[in-house]
Amino acid sequence: MTSMGKTRRTVSVGLCGAALAAALAAPAQAHTTEAHDMTAPAHPAKAHNMTAKHQPTEAQGTAEPSTTADSRPERTPWKLTATGTDARFRGLAAVSRDSAWVAGSKGTVLRTTDGGRTWRNVSPPGAAELEFRDIEAFDTKRAVVLAIGEGEASRLLRTDDGGATWSESFRNTDPKAFYDCVTFFDRSNGLAMSDPVDGKYRILATGDGGKSWKVLPSKGMPDALPGEAGFAASGQCLVSSGPRDVWLATGGGATARVLHSADRGLTWTATESTIPAGDPARGVFALAFQGRHHGIAVGGDYRKDQPSPRAGAVTRDGGRTWQQASTPPPAYRSGVAWLPHSRTAALAVGPTGTDLTLDGGRSWRTVDTGSYDTVDCTPDIGCWAAGEKGRVARLGF
């Protein structure tokens, strides 16, 4: 491709990103009253009971998700797809506008290659008792999925053939460990994190695309706060950007912190966020970074009877300092993602709705009231969301 061709393509994609942001903003403006009135605490959801390790579980019943026309804005941006299951999907890996993977309760993994028109059940055999909470996909064939839980319930599995076969590459044998999230810097190098073991977060590393894992030394990890842990709520408590930078979100302790490593998990620094903590149900639930510096944090209190003030924060220095959003999301949010090819637009999702920011996370407005737990976007202007009762949707505008 000529340099002129590359320039035209870059401009074209950038304009598409701007158009996507504008299209999302339209229903928000049309429903300003609804968005500003949405101050009730988070919608009840199956996942919102806490285990000893401060993780949302699938034990409680849930109200039906908001899918009726009269309970959602007229111009909802999300287009629901038919997955054929009632599993709750907290793991989501968007590959493109057409392709995505989801992973969730009852050991369920689904894959689509036609924009969600059909979903193929590619769940690992014998995994029905596992709780999948994160999935990272390299393409339509290769993916790594994380199962959470104490002791041997925490596992990592990998497929190289679109889910036709799976191999278990890690099974936790330490009863004190509880793995929450996994992230990859590239197709080879990745990390997974566990709640604190002997007072420090435990980090696993792979250099072969998830085929094998090793525990990293803990000497470069700051001490965890009493009661502090990660949240396995959306696969976004551990996120990376670029070849070496990675961030870890926490809650449950006296303050909600964000830990940062610039050397692939060998050494870390910890910074207090502005999102409230001080309770096992409160803290930072999800992070999204655009490059090394500009990041967004969302969270709150996942309990349905508790408000979530100050549920959004922003950093412009790679997490060294955080500023509270001037107009935060109106309720608990568990997932966040930057819109493709935009330096200022992002989406946050939770059980009570989807919010949009057009100013880099400083202010948010609600654009949808459907229930979603996680969100992910791709460079080809594709965004996906997933959540309870088999809900998976793709942006349509």
- Nearest alpha carbon to residue 53 among 149, 155, 187: 149
Residue 324 β-bridge partners? 313
Give residue for tokens 């670029």.
242
Per-residue pLDDT 10s for the chain (397 aa) are: 443 344 344 444 455 566 667 767 765 444 433 333 322 333 333 333 344 455 555 433 333 333 333 334 445 789 999 999 999 999 999 999 999 999 999 999 999 999 999 999 999 999 999 999 999 999 999 999 999 999 999 999 999 999 999 999 999 999 999 999 999 999 999 999 999 999 999 999 999 999 999 999 999 999 999 999 999 999 999 999 999 999 999 999 999 999 999 999 999 999 999 999 999 999 999 999 999 999 999 999 999 999 999 999 999 999 999 999 999 999 999 999 999 999 999 999 999 999 999 999 999 999 999 999 999 999 998 999 999 999 999 998 6
What is the distance between the alpha carbons of residues 46 and 40, in angstroms, rounded to a whole number?
18
For the chain, how many residues are written?
A: 397
- Amino acid letter for position 100: A
Q: State pLDDT tens for residues 226-248.
A: 999 999 999 999 999 999 999 99
Residue 150 has what pLDDT? Answer: 95
- Measured CA angle at 355 (ends 352, 356), to 5 deg: 170
Distance between CA atoms of 159 and 167, rounded to whole angstroms? 7
